[in-house]
A and B are shown apart, each in its own frame.
Chain A
Amino acid sequence: MSEPLLTLSGVYTDIDQYHILQGVDLTVPRGAVTMLLGRNGVGKTTTLRTIIGHWKAKAGSIMYDGQDIVAMATPARARAGIGFVPEDMGIFADLTVEENMILAAVSGAPDPARLDWLFGVFPPLKTFWNSQAGTLSGGQKQMLSIARAMIEDRKLYLIDEPTKGLAPAIVSTMAGALRDLKEQGATILLVEQNFAVAKALGDHVAVMEDGKIIWTGDMATLSTDAALQERLMGLSMEAAQ
């Protein structure tokens, strides 16, 4: 088995006076989708933000592609190939869709073939190419947010609740796009509350509780064990669908 792309060891992160991450140990294998699950407020978003560098880890190490990135600034982490999709549709509302996409292609002009693929996955982006991103609907903004991360081939995608608050039709579009990305062999660390999407996409699972990873394993194991789901997350995946 090849070396994991990302390994967090004993990561502690504080936000102001709150101790959010309390020794996170997490491994993200290459070319697979790792789901980060858990109840609200257990530290899933903070974990992603600590990896991208928004929150600085107080202790522990974050090994990414063979190097410890704890001391690295956020832009350097992004340029090292980490694409981040925040949960709040992190688009630039004052810029057009085109400008948002061009801005996200940090290593040069966007690849036309990749852009065509994205237009196929998210048709509204082509329709509203010259529109201000702030005028898009919630679902379209989320499409843009994910497409921005996908505009270049990243080594690692950190995606935070991409289907949150979206209509079922848009959720299915999102899931389709992420499936496409997965089929291309991308490495994804995904926080997702929609269990149907999580079950369909996830290869591996890490479950968080109180700022720690309390269980890791395969999605196949978790998705077929209702008692385990109940114990880890307080509800069963089937019941939540």
Chain B
Amino acid sequence: MFIAAAIAIIIAMALILIRGILGPTIYDRILAVNLFGTKAMLLIAVLGFLDGRPEFLDIALVYALINFIATIAIMKFWGVTDISQPSKSDPLGDI
């Protein structure tokens, strides 16, 4: 069961990576890095159970905190600088 979960998480990671590479707008990329942090956390938790060392679960929890803080900081940074304003006419932004 843990092996199936690990494979599913790896496939999700690959899909998120494709979206992060292709992502036409900035929102795709922010979501990609946020989701990738979540998937890394889940992978660490699953790996802990695969190896029979479930104490990795604590580390996965701390990862969740770091990921949350990083995403909030990116969004806050986004709000206070003027790179959020598109320089061309596209309302989705040009980045």
User: Does chain A bind chain B?
Assistant: no
What is the interface of chain B, defined by CB distance below 8 A to chain A? none
What is the interface of chain A, defined by CB distance below 8 A to chain B? none
